[in-house]
Amino acid sequence: MDEQRLLTWFEQIEGRISQTFIPGTHQYAMRTALLTEMQTALESVFPPSHTVLRRWEDVRSRESQALQNDHGSRLEFAQDELIAIFRVAHRLLRRDTLTGSRMAYARRPLYNASTKQRLW
């Protein structure tokens, strides 16, 4: 997947955030689906050692704990953090694309996790 297609994908995901994370609503299935797509997008760009993915994993762990302990406010806080991390990654991607710099972290092939088939 080339950088422009990645950027378009990130923009499409970002456009759905405000429709999915509406304060006071509990659209858990929709939120889970979007968070999963956000994680997939991040993993397609950044290597596991990158700060973006390390922070993402830390917050996903806290999100999971909040769900298990039924702490709604902690869950919303964790999900707000996940959105912020995704937006930072999106800015990094945009910056690299707009400045013309090649993203070294985006050069690894993208694989379909279930089939292990290379997508690009």
Specify whether the CB–CB gap between 10 and 46 falls below 8 A. Answer: no
Gap between the Cα atoms of 31 and 34, Å rounded: 5
Q: Each residue of 58-101: pLDDT tens digit?
A: 999 998 888 888 767 788 888 999 999 999 999 999 887 656 55
- How far apart (Å, rounded) are the C-alpha atoms in residues 92 and 18? 20
| Dist CA 29 CA 3 (whole Å) | 29
What percent of the chain clears pLDDT 70, i.e. is strictly above it?
78
Residue type, 40: T
| Per-residue tokens: 110 | 């993208």
Q: Is 114 helix (H, G, I), strand (E, B) or coil?
A: coil
Q: Is the pTM higher than 0.85?
A: no
